[in-house]
Chains A and B, each alone.
Chain A
Amino acid sequence: MYRYDEFDHAFVKARVAELADQVDRRLAGEITEDQFKPLRLMNGVYLQLHAYMLRVAIPYGTLSSRQLRMLAHVARTYDKGYGHFTTRQNIQFNWPALSDIPAILDELASVEMHAIQTSGNCIRNVTADHFAGAAADEVADPRPYAEILRQWSSVHPEFSFLPRKFKIAVTGAERDRAAIQVHDIGLHLKKNEAGELGFAVYVGGGQGRTPMVAKKIRDFLPEADLLSYTTAIMRVYNLNGRRDNKYKARIKILVHETGTEELTRQVEAEFAVLKEGELKLPDADIRAIQAYFAPPQLPERAEGWGKLAAEKKSEPAFAAWLRRNVNDHWHPDYASVTISLKGIGEIPGDATDDQMDAIADLAEELAFDEIRVSHEQNLILPHVARADLRAVYDRLVAIGLATANAGLVTDIIACPGLDYCALANARSIPVAQEISRRLGDQALQEEIGDLKLKISGCINACGHHHVGHIGILGVEKKGAELYQITLGGSGDENTSIGEIVGRGFGPDEITDAVETVVKTYLSLREDPSETFLAAYRRVGPAPFKEALYGAQAKAA
């Protein structure tokens, strides 16, 4: 993985010192909250309902054991013994005191971590496929490009005060696990006919109150042009994006209002000016960054195949975990493991300090010292020998993290919601927990099959409800929580925005409603291989409306 050079270390240290001084001056009353708020936000410090919240960047979701141990240490020492992994592949601490934040950031800096640009109208943490560098179906590792973008965008003077926040995602496989089409810029790393690497470029996707699927404006951008083309997009946005209305300030609105063709023309015109300039990436520089992401030396471990076959037979729970939580690796003797942070009835994305420590140990001993955070709020061990899967599983069982539900209905994305968030209108986590308990039977979940359920506690859609096969949006109506269901959303290579199925449900009704939707699917699917999403795309909303609202829905 990428290692800080001297410049990086000095830069992050200087930033910690700067914030420490700002916090001191704030606590001494020398600066007002209005002056301080933008400064703390530039360092990931929010104020939520119960306390401050610190969002720490995990670039493209990649962590070493040493870094994960530091996150455990922060949770234990400065917080309440847990952290919350987010849909931006970051981690949030929910209870730090403002007065402790400089010390926390100082400790994080010692393991090459920080909270810079985890808030504010700037380019945020660049996200990537959580199986990057490991997946069998990958063309190339997208993370070197995410790192190049990270370095280029960090405190970029031209792009630190954009009309609104800006999110970039990169994937290196045809199967999109990074939801690139609901990002401001989505990059799909691929090869052209000559075998050269480049990107399909998508612009103007996003969720929030105006969900939009990104438009492809380039089918193949040579890798050398990554920064000049991205800069061209950013310039067009920075100049023309709306600053008069916060709700219309994202690039998706600009793309929509300008039209894809005209916007593409503007980007290409800007690109033509920049193309041969200083932003053109020298091949040596790309290769130098790629070298940081070279895969670990993976010795042949062919004994894993026979071993696994025997172990699978002996224990159905282990077999279920292998079916759901183990992904193919480019090296046939290896696999990627999903550590589900979605135990039945548990809080999606939360991990305790002890669990983080145990996973760090596990990664160090059996997984080449590497951990990923997925945007689906799970942790990943990207490189595990198949021969070691049983040992990994046993150790996950011991810390309560061996739930075999990756990609199933209880693998729910949920934002923090009204239990923590100052913006939320309704709770998300308790809804996720109740649905998880209701549908958590392993046999039932596996019968239902692949189903992505995503819950947001407000229209900002941090819980990605728009792209849930089943999405749930919490709103406040007459002082009470109400939950709207959307169906048919998807955040993969065939991205679609879910459609609202009908009137909302109260907190006591929403689990029943989800169960009704699931049962309706089971009753109408052609066969078990037809997933929920495929069935919905075939039959549309009508059978679900009827099941939820009765015959009156038909007439409406």
Chain B
Amino acid sequence: MKILTANRLIDGEAVWLASDHSWAETIHAAEIARDDATIEKLERAGRAALCKNEVVDVNLIEIEIVDGEIRPLRLRERIRAAGPTTHPLFGKQARPGISIAA
């Protein structure tokens, strides 16, 4: 399973592509691609967003579902989704409902 992530151009905020084609600030809202056609759709949307200068550093990342929640396979992506493990008050983890990365 894959989701599409990027950083927002204006402030660098980590964002994920949601099913309504908006860039969500939390990973929960990401659209999950479970087949090649959806992966291709996400990639197309990523290229379009790059061209529109909404985001930079667009990447497809691998995830799994754990207890009904999206969990990236790589720690790097879990830290992007949560914030620095050394500063629990900074990054997304400061928001309600976002768990820490490690």
Q: Give A residues with C-beta under 8 Å from B.
A: 26-27, 29, 32-33, 47-52, 80, 95, 97-99, 347, 418-420, 424, 427, 429-430, 433, 476, 479-481
| Contact residues in A for B46 (Cβ distance below 8 Å) | none
| Contact residues in A for B56 (Cβ distance below 8 Å) | 33, 47
- Docked pose: A207 CA to B14 CA in angstroms: 31
Given A49-B76, A98-B12, answer yes or no on A33-B50 (Cβ-Cβ < 8 Å). yes
Interface pair B75/A480, CB less than 8 Å apart: yes
Which of B11, B53, B76, B87 is close to A29, meaning CB atoms less than 8 Å apart? Answer: B53
Q: Pick the most buried of B74, B79, B84: most chain A CB atoms within 10 A of its CB.
A: B84
Which 10 residue pairs are nearest across A and B when measured between Cβ atoms? A97-B11, A419-B84, A51-B12, A52-B12, A29-B53, A429-B86, A49-B80, A33-B56, A419-B86, A99-B10
Q: Pick the most buried of B7, B12, B57, B102: most chain A CB atoms within 10 A of its CB.
A: B12
B63 to chain A, nearest CB (A): 12
Interface pair A50/B11, CB less than 8 Å apart: no
B85 to chain A, nearest CB (A): 6
Closest chain B residue to A99, Cβ basis: B10
- Docked pose: A476 CA to B78 CA in angstroms: 14
A142 to chain B, nearest CB (A): 34
Closest chain B residue to A429, Cβ basis: B86
Given A26-B53, A427-B85, A479-B73, answer yes or no on A49-B10 (Cβ-Cβ < 8 Å). no
| Contact residues in B for A424 (Cβ distance below 8 Å) | 76
Given A49-B76, A49-B80, A479-B73, answer yes or no on A430-B11 (Cβ-Cβ < 8 Å). no
| Contact residues in B for A80 (Cβ distance below 8 Å) | 87, 90
- Docked pose: A51 CA to B86 CA in angstroms: 16
- Docked pose: A51 CA to B56 CA in angstroms: 11
B84 to chain A, nearest CB (A): 4
- Beyond A47-B7, A50-B13, A419-B86, 6 additional contacts (C-beta under 8 Å) are A26-B9, A47-B12, A49-B80, A51-B11, A429-B84, A480-B75
| Contact residues in A for B83 (Cβ distance below 8 Å) | 50
Interface pair A51/B50, CB less than 8 Å apart: no
Fill in one digit per residue for B64-80: 1 if any A CB lies within 8 Å of its CB, else 0: 00000000011110011
Interface pair A98/B13, CB less than 8 Å apart: no
| Contact residues in B for A427 (Cβ distance below 8 Å) | 75, 79, 85-86, 102
- Docked pose: A340 CA to B39 CA in angstroms: 50
Closest chain B residue to A45, Cβ basis: B12
B64 to chain A, nearest CB (A): 11
Closest chain A residue to B11, Cβ basis: A97
Which of B11, B50, B74, B80 is close to A99, meaning CB atoms less than 8 Å apart? Answer: B11
Interface pair A27/B79, CB less than 8 Å apart: no
- Docked pose: A27 CA to B85 CA in angstroms: 31
- Docked pose: A48 CA to B87 CA in angstroms: 16
- Docked pose: A26 CA to B91 CA in angstroms: 25
| Contact residues in B for A98 (Cβ distance below 8 Å) | 9-12
Given A50-B84, A481-B75, answer yes or no on A27-B9 (Cβ-Cβ < 8 Å). yes
- Whether, in the assembled complex, B34 has its beta carbon less than 8 Å from a beta carbon of chain A, the answer is no
- Docked pose: A419 CA to B9 CA in angstroms: 20
Given A429-B86, A430-B85, A480-B75, answer yes or no on A50-B10 (Cβ-Cβ < 8 Å). no
Interface pair B11/A52, CB less than 8 Å apart: yes
- Docked pose: A347 CA to B76 CA in angstroms: 19
- Docked pose: A52 CA to B12 CA in angstroms: 5
| Contact residues in B for A33 (Cβ distance below 8 Å) | 9, 50, 53, 56
Interface pair A420/B84, CB less than 8 Å apart: yes
Interface pair A50/B53, CB less than 8 Å apart: no
A284 to chain B, nearest CB (A): 47
Given A29-B53, A418-B75, answer yes or no on A433-B12 (Cβ-Cβ < 8 Å). no
Interface pair B79/A49, CB less than 8 Å apart: yes
Fill in one digit per residue for B47-62: 1 if any A CB lies within 8 Å of its CB, else 0: 0001011001100000
Could you show 9 A-B contacts with beta carbons less than 8 Å apart?
A26-B53, A32-B53, A48-B12, A98-B10, A98-B12, A419-B84, A424-B76, A479-B73, A479-B75
| Contact residues in B for A347 (Cβ distance below 8 Å) | 86
- Docked pose: A479 CA to B11 CA in angstroms: 29
| Contact residues in A for B84 (Cβ distance below 8 Å) | 50, 419-420, 429
| Contact residues in B for A481 (Cβ distance below 8 Å) | 75
- Docked pose: A99 CA to B84 CA in angstroms: 22
- Docked pose: A492 CA to B98 CA in angstroms: 45
B87 to chain A, nearest CB (A): 8
A24 to chain B, nearest CB (A): 12
| Contact residues in A for B73 (Cβ distance below 8 Å) | 479
- Docked pose: A476 CA to B7 CA in angstroms: 23
- Docked pose: A420 CA to B80 CA in angstroms: 8
Closest chain A residue to B76, Cβ basis: A418
Interface pair A95/B7, CB less than 8 Å apart: no
- Docked pose: A95 CA to B56 CA in angstroms: 16
- Docked pose: A52 CA to B57 CA in angstroms: 12
- Docked pose: A433 CA to B9 CA in angstroms: 33
- Docked pose: A481 CA to B90 CA in angstroms: 22
Closest chain A residue to B53, Cβ basis: A29
Interface pair B10/A97, CB less than 8 Å apart: yes
| Contact residues in B for A27 (Cβ distance below 8 Å) | 9-10, 53
- Docked pose: A80 CA to B11 CA in angstroms: 14
| Contact residues in A for B87 (Cβ distance below 8 Å) | 80, 419
| Contact residues in B for A476 (Cβ distance below 8 Å) | 74-75
Interface pair B90/A95, CB less than 8 Å apart: yes
